[in-house]
Structure 1
Amino acid sequence: METKLIKVNPEKPDLGSIRIAAGVIRAGGLVAFPTETVYGLGANALDEDAARKIYNAKNRPQDNPLIVHISSHKEVEGLVRNMPPEARILMERFWPGPLTLVLEKSNKVPYSTTGGLDTVAVRMPRHPVALALIKESGVPIAAPSANISGRPSPTTAEDVYEDMAGKVDVILDGGPCEVGVESTVLDLTGDVPVILRPGGVTREELEEAVGRVELDAGLLPGQKPKSPGQKYRHYSPKAPMLVVEGPVEAQIKKISEVAERLSVEGKKVGIMATAQTRMYYKTGYVISVGDRNAPLTISANLFSVLRKFDRMGVDQILAEGIPETGLGLAVMNRLRKAAGYNIIKLE
């Protein structure tokens, strides 16, 4: 398959380019497109064969559900069987935006899209290109991240091309993504809303809107996941990765010690530091992922830094932890998964 790369204005995408991509969606093909979180790999969510193409292109496990993207609130009605009051509150508050709601699916949504589940995950993205594509296609678009399963998620069209060239029909290049980590996935099928995946909307923001919100036990290492996607390898760079958590000064000391030892062994070490700490490391290839006091700068750069270390060919990645408040919860979730829960916790 020849992959067509089309540059589009991220704020005002031209209709001609959008129509080319929408024609591919309607014909059962695959289109990678930008959202505010990461790039998505899209196909017609109501077409069983098209949905299967997503799994094949990504080498994605068949029981890992796809998120269905819509362009207006009213499109939810045909996709779900009932709408709890919390869903309407959250839609009004956070859509368009990085929040995915898990609801009971209607018969209209095929099981190939939901990973065999009786629930469907739905969101309305906050990106002009994504919204224009969904609207012009005339169908909801199923779209997980546009990467090979297990790899760091793509936040630029170049990342997508690296993983998906020859596997998708069109890549819409709308520049870098704003949030940089995937949407928050919130299950509304039980008595209390449960976060299955932390993301661009924080737990604090959700609780302010609807009251108590729980974290799924599967977010913790060693616990049984409720969401099928939680049990699979995610976000992993090519080199092994170690996350060091604890007081900042202790993190710097431990990472410096490990980097020095590995360098003496002849290893090429990459250090994921922050704006406040990068100057303290004297060994290894040091990249600042962002500002500790502005977690959005870290989430926006997280996956691109992991891919940068891949391209540099490092033998080991050492990463600092950050506090798990606000967007920090999503950042630490991704870092720990990328490291395969290879973590040092310091007091």
Structure 2
Amino acid sequence: MTVTTSDIEKAAEVLRAGGLVALPTETVYGLGANAEDPAAVARIFQVKGRPPSHPLIVHIGDAKQLDDWVEEVPTTARLLAEHFWPGPLTLVLRRGRRVPLEATGGLQTVAMRVPDHPVAHALLSAFGGGVTAPSANRFGSVSPTTADHVRAELGDAVEFVLDGGACTVGVESTIVDATGEIPSILRPGGVTREDLEAVLGYSIAVSSASRVRVPGQHPSHYAPRARVVLVEPEKVVIEAEQAQELGHQVGVLLPTSIAGAAVKAHAVVAVPPSVAAYAHGLFGILREFDQRGCDLIVASLPMEEGLGLAIANRLRRAAGPRPS
């Protein structure tokens, strides 16, 4: 669908009026609100069913605007912004006065990003401010990568949906804690650890337990309705067939190492041969299993390098313990 100038202006007016706009980014679709309007930000939490202690990402139109939103920009943060913005990288920095605590989950840090999508850029330019935009889905469920995903899940709870087509990256941004001297990855995503290290010139850690709360850290996240079970690649077929024999409607993510293997299951989807294609299609595949009536999904983790690190993170969260 082509987004017109009229669409952009209407979406900007919705934001100015305190409403919610679903907007495409290169990663996933976001549920956007005026970042400086506490009441509008609160509506995001209400619509998503998201705990108010979970901080949001503030999207801005240009790296030059960063100083307007944060207390200070360390040299390392500026270096990363110069190399990866616009793009799927989020930097956690000290909150400036412009950012309400409602957007940060009560923290004195704020997550900032410049998205790399022409529709998002056009909206941010027309609106003229920052937009808080977590993924446009119910809290904990599979992130949307098309406008149809947004409409199916949130319906008329969103005043306006900008349909910019399918997201190109398909997994969320990489979140980096840039508040200290040595940055660390709080959530793997569209910018790989290897890319970050090439720019920084040294190794950085992926933090499993951080003092900074950021999106995507809940034990169960990115989860379809079907329960997800992770096994070693060579055990996928036997695990799936045993579950099918026990009466489950099983969906199988067939790893590339056993591509073409015959498996008795309700639905079988082959893992795309390239890691970029896998990241791009992951959330759509999980949604497909739900749509086909699966109640159990059997999958394995990819090699945790490059974008494989982000894919493995999403699958682990999808397989995490569900709230009772």
TM-score normalised by length of structure 2: 0.95
Equivalent of 1:303, from 283, 286, 299? 283
Instruction: Report whether the alignment pairs 1:333 with 2:320.
Output: no
Instruction: Report whether the alignment pairs 1:50 with 2:37.
Output: no
Deviations 1:306-325 (A, max 9, x none): 11111111121001221000
Offset at residue 326 of structure 1 (A): 0.7
Equivalent of 1:287, from 269, 274, 287? 269
Kept in 1, the 8 Å contact 2:219–2:321? The answer is: no
Offset at residue 208 of structure 1 (A): 1.1
1:187-226 aligned within 5 A = 187-210=177-200, 211-218=202-209, 226=212
TM superposition outliers: structure 1 runs of 4+ over 2 Å: 224-229, 274-278
Structure 2 CA distance, aligned partners of 1:310 and 1:47? 36
Deviations 1:168-195 (A, max 9, x none): 1011111111110000000011221011
Offset at residue 215 of structure 1 (A): 1.3
Structure 2 CA distance, aligned partners of 1:191 and 1:99? 18
Task: Give the aligned partner of residue 302 of structure 2.
Answer: 322
Task: Give the aligned partner of residue 254 of structure 2.
Answer: 273
TM-score normalised by length of structure 1: 0.89
Q: Secondary structure at the match of 2:157?
A: coil
Offset at residue 281 of structure 1 (A): 3.0
1:3-152 aligned within 5 A = 7=1, 9=2, 13-152=3-142
Kept in 1, the 8 Å contact 2:91–2:111? The answer is: yes
Kept in 2, the 8 Å contact 1:193–1:212? The answer is: no
Kept in 1, the 8 Å contact 2:218–2:317? The answer is: no
Offset at residue 289 of structure 1 (A): 3.5
Task: Give the aligned partner of residue 218 of structure 2.
Answer: 231
- CA RMSD in angstroms comes to 1.6
Task: Give the aligned partner of residue 258 of structure 1.
Answer: 239
Deviations 1:277-297 (A, max 9, x none): 341032111112311xx2110
Structure 2 CA distance, aligned partners of 1:161 and 1:231? 24
Equivalent of 2:147, from 154, 157, 173? 157
Task: Give the aligned partner of residue 248 of structure 1.
Answer: none
Task: Give the aligned partner of residue 313 of structure 1.
Answer: 293
Q: Percent identity?
A: 46
